[in-house]
Amino acid sequence: QVQLVESGGGLVQAGGSLRLACAASGRSFSRNNMGWFRQAPEKEREFVAVIKWSGSTFYADSVKGRFTISRDNAENTVYLQMNSLKAEDTGVYSCAASSQSFGGVSYYETFYDYWGQGTQVTVSS
């Protein structure tokens, strides 16, 4: 059974940092794209960042320059380093993985087949 489990969320002051982790189990995702999405209260879930199987990374404009996505294939884990956090970064952050090997990048939820439960990030202003 494939599972994605996020950790690292919490409460932080504006300007602070958090590092999220998403540990995958049940299969290897070294050949697959993995991404992070977030959902703020009363808003639609939105794309945050994706890291391809090749290591290439892509970000939403709202987090570019502040967030960094990375992966450790040996640990089957993807990370999201979040710096200079703002109140508008508040939300539930979920990691996602595609089942397609060596796929192209996608910013859309429907591209991803596996999802974690999410971890709450709250940024106080």
Q: In angstroms, rounded to a whole number, what is the distance separating the alpha carbons of residues 92 and 41?
A: 8
Closest CA relative to residue 59, chosen from 44, 29, 38: 38
Three-state secondary structure call for residue 52: coil
Q: Which pLDDT band holds residue 122 (cuts at 50, 70, 90)?
A: very high
At 58, the amino acid letter reads: F
SS3 3: strand
Closest CA to 85 of 102, 67, 58: 67
- Per residue in 15-47, pLDDT (tens digit) is 999 999 999 999 999 999 999 999 999 999 999
